[in-house]
Structures are given as structure tokens and as C-alpha cells.
Chain A
Amino acid sequence: NAGVMQNPRHLVRRRGQEARLRCSPMKGHSHVYWYRQLPEEGLKFMVYLQKENIIDESGMPKERFSAEFPKEGPSILRIQQVVRGDSAAYFCASSPPDRINYGYTFGSGTRLTVV
């Protein structure tokens, strides 16, 4: 089992460009969560998705950010018209349907740098 796979590991974008971050959950995991970590800060929840559904997007900025988890393929976090303040590490986690007895498995993150 390859674990949670995130790509790319590092992403550099110029201001105004789009950033697409991908996350493939662990096999058998139907829940995906995205977190953002600014330098020297803790993890901030962004969005929680199940297949084809957004369950909780209370941590997503209202503009420029969107997320999806299609029936086939990885979950995508999309940031349009990036600004310097979007520079951060973005972590994806997945969990199985049984959330009483199992924790999250995190990916290694995508480090986005906006220049």
C-alpha cells in the first residue's frame, strides 16, 4: 500500500498563475482532507471531501480556491491567480469510512512557492 500520494512535491508559480495540487488517497479510503501550513505555523483545515461531494469547506478562502474529488482519479486542490501569501505547504490526508477506530494518513505535502 503506497500510502497517500501527493504531487508535485514542490511547485513554483508566478503571481497570477494557477496551481494544481493532486492527492491520491490510500486504497480503501473514501474521505479526503486538505490542510495548509504556513511557515512556522500549525495546520489549518481547508476542506473535507468524499467521492464527488464536498462535505465541509469551512476553511477554504472564498475566492480563488476550489477542490474536487471525482469518482475516478485523485483529489485536486486548485488555486487560481496565486499571490505571494499562498506560499505554504499543502497537506492531504485520507481516512477510511470507520472514523472511530482509525486515524488519518497524511501525504508528504506539496510545497508551493509563489514568486
Chain B
Amino acid sequence: SQQGEEDPQALSIQEGENATMNCSYKTSINNLQWYRQNSGRGLVHLILIRSNEREKHSGRLRVTLDTSKKSSSLLITASRAADTASYFCPIRGNKLVFGAGTILRVKS
């Protein structure tokens, strides 16, 4: 399969806690991207990490990439209710292929 597989399928945490989501893939990549989709809305590009990078930060987001294990993780620190959304790590051939995503629910 060319798509990224997100894990867990669903995650429920309290506001202020950290949330960690994982992504596994099978093909070689130039980069790995994470996207967020709030219910019923379009997707928002969160962060892109290139294959020669191991870690990248953007605000409360921290992404790691391990190309030897073909895996990535997305950490959201100090979560907020507004972080409630689905999170995806689509894999790119000539187009992005999306998996089922991780549904994150942040309870206030």
C-alpha cells in the first residue's frame, strides 16, 4: 500500500495533556507531511519533514522521522479543545494518498 497508516485510530485526552500520533509507511519517501482536518472542513497542512531530517518543530507541534523504521510521530504539546480533529500522514507518489487518520478528541 502506498498510503501512510496512522495509529492509534482514535485518541481521547484532557486539555493540557500531550497527544502523540504515529505513522508508518512502506515506500521510500522524499518527505513526509502531516495534515489536520476539523470536522466537515478542508484539510490544513501542518508540517513537512524531509527525508534527511530527523526532527522538526512548529509551535506546539513536534514531528520526528525515522526512515530506517519507515515511521514518523506527531506530538502536540499542551493540547487545546481546538486541536480536536482528524490527523493524517499521507504518502506521496505523484499524488498524496490518505489513510484513515487518527481521530483526536481533546476534552475541556
Q: Using a CB–CB distance below 8 Å, which chain A residues touch chain B?
A: 33, 35, 42-45, 48, 55-56, 89, 91, 93, 99-109
Of the candidates B42, B44, B98, the one whose C-beta lies within 8 Å of that of A109 is B42
Main secondary structure of the interface of B (DSSP, over half): strand
B100 part of interface (Cβ distance < 8 Å) = yes
A-contact 0/1 string along B42-58, CB 8 Å cutoff:
11110010100000000
Of the candidates B31, B95, B100, the one whose C-beta lies within 8 Å of that of A100 is B31
What residues of B have a CB within 8 angstroms of the CB of A89 in the complex? 40
Main secondary structure of the interface of A (DSSP, over half): strand
Which of B30, B45, B100 lies at the interface centre, i.e. has the most chain A CB atoms within 10 A of its CB? B45
Within 8 A of A (CB), among B15-70: 30-31, 33, 35, 40-45, 48, 50
| Tally of B interface residues using CB under 8 Å | 22
Q: Output the least CB separation between A89 and chain B (Å).
A: 8
A44 to B41, CA, bound (A): 15
A-contact 0/1 string along B76-93, CB 8 Å cutoff:
000000000000100010
Known contacts A48-B95, A55-B94; decide if A103 and B100 are in contact (CB<8 Å).
Answer: no
B10 part of interface (Cβ distance < 8 Å) = no
**Are A100 and B94 interface neighbours, CB within 8 A?**
no
**Are B99 and A109 interface neighbours, CB within 8 A?**
no
**Are A43 and B43 interface neighbours, CB within 8 A?**
yes
A33 to B45, CA, bound (A): 15
**Are A103 and B33 interface neighbours, CB within 8 A?**
yes
12 contacts between A and B (CB under 8 A): A43-B43, A43-B88, A44-B98, A45-B95, A45-B96, A56-B95, A89-B40, A101-B50, A103-B48, A104-B35, A108-B42, A109-B42
